[in-house]
Amino acid sequence: MNYKIYYFLLITFSVVNAVKDYNGYKVYRVVPRTEDDVKLLEEFRRTSVGEFWDDNLVVNYRVNMMVPGDMQGLFLNSTRQTMIEVEEVIPDLQKAIEDQLKPATGFRSSETFHGYSWDRYHNLETINTWMNTLVQNYPGIVRPVVMGRSVENREIRGIIINYKPEKTNKLMGILEGTLHAREWIAPATVTWIVKEFLTSTDPQVRAMAENIEWHVFPVVNPDGYHYSFTTHRMWRKNRSPESFGTCEGADDDMSHGVDLNRNFDFVWMSVGASNNPCSNTFAGPRAFSEPESRAISQYVLNLKEQGEIIYYLAYHSYTQLIVIPYSHVTGSDVLLANNYADMYEIGIRSADAIAKRYGTVYRVGVSSEILYPISGGSFDWVKKVADVPITFLIELRDLGEYGFLLPPEQIIPNNLETMDGLIEMDRVTKLLGYYSAGAISKVISLSVLILCSMVIVLFN
């Protein structure tokens, strides 16, 4: 082989496969207190003084920032002269990344289910292999399903759990995990819920598992999730090359992907989304430009033809939130979601149940009020277009102490409290009448009836 070609291939191979190294990096939690503070943080981002774990920079919103060793002096000196609050949360980022891969010991860490465990975070292949094992071990109850394919042609795989396949007029629920690649606690939670549905003897879990046909997708962004294991631990988006280009002050690889939770075709690109391919919240060149978001939407619409979908739960991390649709609205506009009051009630009771076990506090509300406004998210689209009554985005542990690098020791405690919340969510949902088909239209017709009676009384 010509040596020039050889070196070209060698360099290309090295660039493509170089594992992102965070040696010397620290993570700081910063809270801007004025508009000038926000401008300074934006300048930090533009000039690569640091990378943020959250692209939303607004007054009083705390955000984690990764700062390389050679920038820490500049960062600390610059912020000292401002109102920005700075707290070091991860003193050695590379070590935290490596520590997260070490299996936990202690509390229930030896527990396994068909070769799968929750003492560590598993890669895509292990999750997919485990789902195959469940299909073989639960014939007639668990079936495999492929939602579609990713940009890099990976299957978006899941399972359907149905204890009453002969039943007509079925109720259905969808669990969506890992739309964002680096949020590893999401698939660790969704797989635990599957295990509970298949093994729990708690009557409430049994009822939930057996009265609803569950469509479970632990990883809907398989390329990004795979990439977060092999190359770039902090990867969030999918791996779309369509808008690849030069990223000023940042690694060009940043433009290699679309934020799938900004790519859905409902109020797309209106707020809390970026048209810059180098941003972590790049909404894509157009709504539904990505095969992963198209696959989810098509799957939901097809399923709607087969029965009533009552749940759509999208698992993310971190911040401990139960988010109600819609994410672009605030104030009285929250009522745009026709059963907002019910979802709020269900969310609050679920958060109370979560807190009971370890005191973990979850906040409940629309994104604009408890996080920040966003648009183009999957769960908002599901609520608006597929009209699924109980739709939430759930941001799991923690509050930013470890963020995406949640230690494996916290997986099982997180899963136990999440399950408590899910049981209560289902109890209240049932109590509010959502198990009866067409509950929503009944609620609406009842409201119309009451309104008509009031008008009649007024005019008599």
Closest by CA to 28, choosing from 73, 17, 225, is 73
Cα three-residue angle 327-332-338, rounded to 5 degrees: 70
Peptide bond into 398 cis (omega under 30): yes
User: Closest distance between Zn ion and the C-beta of residue 318, in Å?
Assistant: 9
| Comparison of 180 and 233: residue with beta carbon closer to Zn ion | 180
- Give the contact letters, 309-348, x = binds to Zn ion (CB under 5 A), - = no: -------x--------------------------------
Q: Which of 176, 183, 395, 424 is catalytic?
A: 395
Taking the least distance from each CB to Zn ion, the nearer of 79 and 263 is: 263
Q: Catalytic site residue 152?
A: no
CA-based nearest residue to 293, from 343, 257, 317: 257
| Alpha-carbon separation of residue 222 from 104, 136, 197, 264 (angstroms) | 25, 23, 24, 18
Between 221 and 339, CB nearer to Zn ion? 221
Nearest distance, CB of residue 221 and Zn ion, angstroms:
10
Q: Please tell me whether residue 264 adopts helix, strand or coil conformation.
A: coil
Size of the site for Zn ion (CB under 5 A): 2
Q: Which two tokens stand for residue 261?
A: 């939770």
Output the smallest distance, CB 180 to Zn ion, in A: 3
Spatial distance between the Cα atoms of 136 and 72, rounded to a whole number of angstroms = 53
Q: How far is the CB of 236 from Zn ion (least distance, A)?
A: 7
Helix (H, G, I), strand (E, B) or coil at 173: strand
| Cα(422)–Cα(383) distance, integer angstroms | 19
> 54 Cβ partners below 8 Å, 6+ apart?
63, 64
Nearest to 379 by CA among 364, 399, 363, 394: 394
Give dist(CA 388, CA 6) in Å, integer. Answer: 55
Structure-derived torsion over alpha carbons of residues 283, 284, 290, 293, reported in degrees to the nearest 10: 10
- The smaller minimum CB distance to Zn ion, of residues 237 and 349, is found at 237
Q: Shortest Cβ distance from residue 117 to Zn ion (Å)?
A: 24
Find the binder of Zn ion among 26, 29, 157, 180 (CB under 5 A): 180
Cα of 308 vs its chain's centroid, Å:
23
**Residue closer to Zn ion, measured from CB, 197 or 235:** 235
User: Which residue's CB is nearer to Zn ion, number 45 or number 316?
Assistant: 316
Q: Is 262 in the site for Zn ion (CB under 5 A)?
A: no
**Helix axes 35-46 and 72-80, enclosed angle (nearest 10):** 170
To which residue do tokens 């239209």 refer?
441
CB-wise, 162 or 189, nearer to Zn ion? 189
Sheet with 51-52, side-by-side order of all strands: 51-52, 63-67, 26-31, 85-90
- The C-alpha R_g of the chain, in whole angstroms, comes to 23
- Nearer to Zn ion by Cβ, of 57 and 181: the residue is 181
The answer to whether 319 and 186 are in contact (CB under 8 A) is no
What minimum distance in Å lies between the beta carbon of 428 and Zn ion? Answer: 25
Q: What's the min distance (Å) between Cβ of 314 and Zn ion?
A: 8
Site stretch for Zn ion (CB under 5 A), options 12-20, 86-94, 179-187, 417-425: 179-187
Q: What is the dihedral of CA 442, 447, 449, 451, to 10 degrees?
A: -170
Q: How far is the CB of 292 from Zn ion (least distance, A)?
A: 14
Residues that bind Zn ion (CB under 5 A): 180, 316
Catalytic positions, written as ranges: 395
